[in-house]
Amino acid sequence: MSLKVRVVPVTPYQQNCSIIQCEQTGLAAIVDPGGDIELIEAAVSEMGATVEKILLTHGHLDHCAVADVLRKKLSVPMEGPEEGDRFWIDKLPEWCQMAGFPHADPFVPDRWLNDGETVTVGAQTLEVIHCPGHTPGHVVFLHRDLQLAWVGDVIFAGSIGRTDFPRGNHEQLIHSIREKLFPMGDDIRFVPGHGPDSTFGRERASNPFVADPNFG
């Protein structure tokens, strides 16, 4: 396997922060650091990884509240999400206060991402898929050769992302899942923002919100 992956549940929401390490180079990316920096740093150390960047799927606090702190501490760039989530990132202080999270300042990533672009982790390349619905600027990262995706809060094992937050859109979310993710193939395994891994095929067959039988 050309990637080593460690999932570190962080924050009271048990958000799946992933550390993705290129085995060829030892370089790594931290995906969605929402909190608990000490747990993330311990996992990086245990992996023997050198962090080269931070990747964000979307701008909700449990996915990005410590991203800027880590960016400054590690002196690495931050990439993602899509710019539609600027709204969420700008409001981090008030959302953190309402949720009882430690204070987090607004930030601007070094690179907003767009659909069809790529990001690199060491010698590995991940495709960027813009999947709005849960948030307007949500992106998914796909390593096509390994058939492995990081989907944030777009889809979960047996469920889908909430759309009752500001600027959420249920119809957009269903479209993102069924028209952008599922066509990639049933065998693609995904790491969601919360809970256990699954595959697109399993969710197409049995997810009560997006399974094929529900759509004729």
Instruction: Reply yes or no on whether the pLDDT at 216 is more than 80.
Output: no
Average pLDDT for 131-142: 98
Looking at residue 191, what is its pLDDT? 98
- What's the rounded mean pLDDT across residues 38-55? 98
Q: State residue 76's pLDDT score.
A: 98
Q: In this predicted structure, what is the pLDDT of residue 174?
A: 98
pLDDT at 92 over 80: yes
Q: How far apart are CA 105 and CA 101, in angstroms?
A: 12
Q: Is the pLDDT of residue 1 over 90?
A: no
Mean pLDDT of 69-90: 98
- Going from N- to C-terminal start, the domains of the chain cover 3-215
- Percent of the chain at pLDDT exceeding 70: 100
**Predicted confidence (pLDDT) per residue in 152-210, tens digit:** 999 999 999 999 999 999 999 999 999 999 999 999 999 999 999 999 999 999 999 99
Q: Report the C-alpha gap between 34 and 54 in whole angstroms.
A: 11
Tell me which CATH code domain 3-215 carries. 3.60.15.10
Burial call 175-213: b when 16+ CB within 10 Å, e when fewer: ebbbebbbebeeebebbbbbeeebbbebbbeebebbeee
Report, as an integer, the average pLDDT of 4-16. Answer: 97
Q: What is the pTM of this model?
A: 0.98
> Tens of pLDDT along 98-136?
999 999 999 999 999 999 999 999 999 999 999 999 999
Strands 189-192 and 159-160 turn out to be unpaired
C-alpha span between 169 and 70 (Å, rounded):
31
Mean pLDDT on 73-90: 98
